[in-house]
Amino acid sequence: MSDVNEIVDKLLQEVRRGTITIGVLSQLEQPKYGYSLVATMAEKGVQVDPGTLYPLLRRLEKQGLLQSEWDTNEARPRKYYLLSPTGKEVYDKLTTEWRKIVTSMQVLMDEGGEVKNGND
């Protein structure tokens, strides 16, 4: 049984990897710093490892999807990230595509269920 769990974990990790990017983009219409993003996403039920999120934010910035600014006014300097115009456009397109995926996956999985029942 532990084998099954291990495989499920691995596959889920792969599924999540792609969703995290979309999730992050969805939260950055307002500027946020890394750890506050971890917290808000966790609140909404999406657990993100800071060790994954921080490098991801940098990569997205490098790709031009995010803009960043250091806030040095507070005691602890923090880097705030915000969607860039390109990022916004990308996020909108991704949202549309994501909805399509959800719909078609729904169809696929429902069909799969029907066949199974039919065989019984």
Partner 1 sequence: MEMIERYIYAVTHRLPQSQREEIAKELRGLIEDMLDERVGQNDRTIYEVESVLLELGDPVSLSEQYGGSRRFLIGPYLYNQYIAILKIVLMALGIAMSVVLAIEIIAEPYSIYNHLVRFISLVINSSTTAFAWITIGFAIAEYKGTRPKVGMWKPSDLAAVPKYQKEIKRREAITGIIFSILFLVFIIFSNHLVGFYVFEDNELDRIIPFFNSDVLSKYLPFIYIILGLGVLKEGLKLVIGKWTKKLATYNLLINAVTLALVAFIFSNDAVWNPYFMQDIAKITPQHEAYETIKTIWENSRVSVVTIYILILIVDTVSVFYKSFKS
**Using CB under 8 A as the criterion, which residues of the chain lie in contact with partner 1 when the complex forms?**
33-35, 49-52, 54-56, 58-59, 62, 76-79
The β-bridge partners of 97 are: none
Select 12 or 107, whichever has its Cβ closest to partner 1. 12
Select 38 or 90, whichever has its Cβ closest to partner 1. 38
Q: How far is the CB of 56 from partner 1 (least distance, A)?
A: 8
Count of helices and strands (H, E) across the chain: 4, 3
Select 56 or 65, whichever has its Cβ closest to partner 1. 56
The vertex-47 CA angle with 36 and 31, nearest 5°, equals 25
Q: How far is the CB of 78 from partner 1 (least distance, A)?
A: 5
In sequence order, what are the residues at sequence separation of 6 or more whose Cβ sits closer than 8 angstroms to the Cβ of residue 111?
A: none
